[in-house]
């Protein structure tokens, strides 16, 4: 089994929603039951309202901007992290 160090019952795992999958897998690997409590979601009510604009504004939103490229980079790094952790046997 893992290195649960006497932890009994589930713990509340609070981390960025972007990192939650990898974090839960790490805790499971250690034999620790965790309840996910993700934070730092990357979509807001403003994003939802913005998507309900006219078709020209929606079409322009399809063009990449620095914020969207940054978000894509963060997501890609997290997926690469999952692969590396799995290859190293940490998950």
How many angstroms separate the CA atoms of 23 and 83, rounded? 13
For the chain, the residue count is: 91
- pTM metric for this prediction: 0.57
Helix (H) or strand (E) segment spanning residue 39 = strand 34-39
How does pLDDT run across 26-78, given as a tens digit for each residue? 999 999 999 999 988 766 555 656 556 677 767 767 777 788 888 889 999 99
Q: Which residues pair with 17 in a beta bridge?
A: none
Domains of the chain: which residue ranges? 11-87
Q: Which residues pair with 16 in a beta bridge?
A: 39
């Amino acid at each position: 089994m893992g290195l649960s160090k006497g932890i009994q019952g589930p713990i509340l795992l609070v981390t960025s929603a972007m990192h939650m999958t990898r974090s839960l897998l790490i805790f499971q690997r250690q034999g620790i039951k965790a309840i996910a409590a993700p934070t730092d979601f990357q979509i807001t009510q403003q994003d939802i309202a913005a998507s309900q604009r006219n078709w020209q504004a929606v079409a322009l939103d399809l063009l990449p901007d620095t914020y969207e490229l940054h978000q894509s980079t963060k997501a890609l790094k997290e997926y690469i992290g999952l692969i590396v952790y799995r290859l190293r046997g940490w998950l």
